[in-house]
Amino acid sequence: MIFLYLLAILMTQYIYYDLPINQIIYIAENHGIRIFNTYTENTRLLGYYSKKHRRIIMYNMPQYTYQYTDTNEETLKHELVHAIQHCKGNYTDYVLVTDDNKIKDCILNKKIDKQFIDFYSPKKLRVFEYEAYCLENQVSYKFLGEQIEKYCK
Ligand SMILES: [Zn+2]
């Protein structure tokens, strides 16, 4: 019995896989979210989501290769969360992708830097920044892809 249990755990670890990065980009673009890379010395931002253009701009990825690294994959996830918040808000407002409990957990357990977020973001946008920072290193591309397919027409 224990053997079967261990075998089941082992199998789910092999079967489970996240979407490759080119596939999440493909899904996003197929749902109207455009993703650009640009190099500039005029910003300290890592990424930006434009509601007006439904577009994600990724700043200063390794200059010549435009390769994704762990850091900018977190940025991409962060900006995709904003894009999904925007889809859920019918392209006018932002609506949370998850729920308050997830955000409370991130704040209480210091998984996000609330002071930093409060410092730079306008009051009415803070909760959406909390969520994007909260989710950026916790969610898979698979999860984000499902949310995009559900909410982004
Ligand atoms: Zn953000």
Percentage of residues in the chain having pLDDT higher than 70:
86
2 CA distance to ligand 1 middle (Å): 45
Taking residue 66's Cβ as centre, other Cβ atoms within 10 Å add up to 12
Is the pLDDT assigned to residue 43 strictly greater than 90?
A: no
22 CA distance to ligand 1 middle (Å): 22
pLDDT classification of 39: cutoffs 50, 70, 90? confident
- What's the predicted TM-score (pTM) here? 0.86
80 CA distance to ligand 1 middle (Å): 9
User: In the prediction, which pLDDT does 117 show?
Assistant: 96
65 CA distance to ligand 1 middle (Å): 25
